[in-house]
Amino acid sequence: MGNPQFRFNPKTLRYERVRFSFWGFLTTVISYGSFGFLFFIGLNFLQNFLIETKLEKSLTKENEALTEYKAVLASQLTESNVLLGELKTEESKLNEMLFELPAEMTTTEPKNVNLLIASTDDSFADQINTIDRHLNTLNAKTKRYNQLFGDRLQLKKTDVPVLLNLPSISPVDNLVTDNLVSGFGVRINPFHKGNYRHDGIDIALTKGTKVLAAGNGRVSYFSNSDLEAGFGNYVEIDHGNGILTRYSHLEKISVSWGQKIKQGQVIGLSGSSGGSVAPHLHYEVIKHGKSLDPLSFIVEGISPAQHQQLALKSKVRNQSLD
CA 132 to chain centre: 19
Question: DSSP letters along 22-58, please?
Answer: HHHHHHHHHHHHHHHHHHHHHHHHIIIII---HHHHH
- Element housing 135 (H / E): helix 121-146
Least confident of 53-57, 124-128, 177-181, 293-297: 124-128
Q: Does domain 165-314 have CATH number 2.70.70.10?
A: yes
Residue 107 has pLDDT above 50, yes or no: no
Domain boundaries, given as residue ranges, for the chain: 6-50, 54-152, 165-314
**Which of these, 222, 274, 281, 272, lies nearest to 251 by C-alpha position?**
272
Q: What is the pLDDT of residue 149?
A: 59
- State whether residue 146 is helix, strand or coil: helix
Sequence-distant (6+) residues with CB within 8 A of 103 are 91, 92, 95, 96
Confidence bin at 124 (pLDDT 50/70/90): low
Beta strands in 168-294 (DSSP E): 180-182, 185-188, 195-198, 201-204, 210-212, 217-223, 233-240, 243-253, 260-261, 266-270, 280-287, 290-292
Residue 259 has pLDDT above 50, yes or no: yes
Q: What is the pLDDT of residue 31?
A: 86
CB 179 within 8 A of CB 205: yes
Residue 159 has pLDDT above 90, yes or no: no
Residue 301 has pLDDT above 70, yes or no: yes
Higher pLDDT, 54 or 194: 194
Cα separations (Å) of 180 from 38, 205, 318? 92, 9, 11
pLDDT digits (tens, 9 = 90+) for 4-27: 777 777 877 787 777 767 777 788
268 vs 255: CA distance, rounded Å: 7
CB 162 within 8 A of CB 302: no
Q: What is the mean pLDDT of residues 104-118?
A: 46
Confidence bin at 249 (pLDDT 50/70/90): very high
CB 108 within 8 A of CB 95: no
Residue 119 has pLDDT above 60, yes or no: no
Sequence-distant (6+) residues with CB within 8 A of 251 are 207, 208, 233, 268, 269, 270, 271, 272, 273, 279
pTM of the model: 0.55
Question: DSSP letters along 163-191, please?
Answer: HHHS--S-SSTT--GGGEEE-SEEEE-TT
Higher pLDDT, 177 or 50: 177
Q: What is the pLDDT of residue 108?
A: 44
